[in-house]
Amino acid sequence: MPGPLPDGEPMPSDGALPASALRAVGARGFGVYVHVPFCASRCGYCDFNTYAPGDLPGWRPEGYADTVLAELELAARTLGAAPAVDTVFVGGGTPTLLPTDDLARILAAIDKTWGLAADVEVTTEANPESVTPASLRALRSAGYTRVSLGMQSVAPGVLRVLDRRHSPGRAAQAATEAREAGFDHVNLDLIYGTPGETADDFAASLAAAIGAGVDHVSAYSLIVEDGTRLAARIRRGELPQPSDDVAADRYLAAEQTLTAAGFGWYEVSNWATTEAGRCRHNLLYWTGGDWWGVGPGAHSHVGGVRWWNVKHPAGYAQRLADGVSPGAGREVLTAEDRHTEEVMLRTRLASGLPLDVLDPAGRAAAERARADGLLTIAGDGQAVLTFRGRLLADAVVRDLLG
Ligand SMILES: C[S@@+](CC[C@H](N)C(=O)[O-])C[C@H]1O[C@@H](n2cnc3c(N)ncnc32)[C@H](O)[C@@H]1O
Ligand code: SF4
21: pLDDT strictly greater than 90: no
pLDDT tier at 352, thresholds 50, 70, 90:
very high
Q: Please give the C-alpha separations between residue 107 and each of 112, 116, 263, 285, in angstroms, as whole numbers.
A: 9, 9, 30, 20
Residues 64, 98: Cα–Cα separation, whole Å: 8
Where residue 4 falls among pLDDT bands split at 50, 70, 90?
low
Find the mean pLDDT for residues 193-215.
98
Position 5 pLDDT exceeds 90: no
Q: Which helix (H) or strand (E) is 331 found in, with range?
A: strand 327-332
- Ligand 1 centre from 367 Cα, in Å? 35
Pocket test for ligand 1, best of 47, 96, 170, 191 (most atoms within 8 A of CB): 191
Q: What is the mean pLDDT of residues 117-124?
A: 98
The CA angle 50-56-58, to the nearest 5 degrees, is 125
Confirm or reject: Cβ of 150 under 6 Å from ligand 1.
Answer: yes
Neighbouring C-beta atoms of residue 104, cutoff 10 Å = 18
Does the beta carbon of 220 lie inside 6 Å of ligand 1? yes
Mean pLDDT, range 162-191, rounded to an integer:
97
Q: pLDDT for 102-117, tens place per residue?
A: 999 999 999 999 999 9
Question: Does residue 25 contact residue 79 with C-beta atoms inside 8 Å?
Answer: yes
Nearest Cα residue to 130 out of 97, 161, 163, 155: 97
Please name which ligand lies nearest the alpha carbon of 42. Answer: 2
Collapse the DSSP code of 69 into the 3-class scheme (helix H, G, I; strand E, B; otherwise coil) and give the result: helix
Pocket test for ligand 1, best of 189, 226, 241 (most atoms within 8 A of CB): 189
- Written in H, E and C, the secondary structure of 64-88 is HHHHHHHHHHHHHHHHCCCCCEEEE
Mean pLDDT value across the chain: 95
Residue 208, strand partner residues: none
Compute how many other C-beta atoms are within 10 angstroms of the C-beta atom of residue 386.
Answer: 16
46 touches ligand 1 (CB under 6 Å): yes
Strand partners, 36: 92
7: pLDDT strictly greater than 90: no
Assess whether pLDDT exceeds 80 at residue 26: yes
**pLDDT given at position 171:** 98
Predicted local distance difference test score (pLDDT) of residue 2: 45
What would the pLDDT profile of 333-343 be if each residue is shown by its tens digit?
999 999 999 99
Task: Look at 55-69, 116-130, 197-211 and tell me which has the smallest mean pLDDT.
Answer: 55-69
**Burial label, 19 (beta-carbon count in 10 A; 0-12, 13-18, 19+):** exposed
CB-ligand 1 contact for 389 (6 Å cutoff)? no
CA–centroid distance, 17 to ligand 1, in Å, is: 32
Written as one letter, the residue type at 158 is V
Contact 330, 293 (CB under 8 A): no
Ligand 2 contact via 50 beta carbon (within 6 Å) = yes
Mutate to test the pocket of ligand 2, among 1, 36, 41, 43 (most ligand atoms within 8 A of CB): 43
Higher pLDDT, 9 or 224: 224
The percentage of the chain sitting over the pLDDT mark of 70, rounded to a whole number, equals 98
**Please, what is the end-to-end C-alpha distance for the chain in angstroms?**
33
pLDDT band at 384 (very low <50, low <70, confident <90, very high): very high
Ligand nearest to the CA of 96: 1
Rg (CA), the chain: 21
Mean pLDDT of 35-55: 96
Quote the pLDDT of residue 243: 96
The DSSP H or E segment spanning 241 is: none
| 64 torsion bin: left (phi>0), alpha (psi -120 to 50), beta (else) | alpha
Q: Is the CB of 150 under 6 A from ligand 2?
A: yes
- At residue 263's C-alpha, the angle toward residues 90 and 130, to 5°, is 30
- Quote the pTM value: 0.96
CB of 127 shorter than 6 A to ligand 2: yes
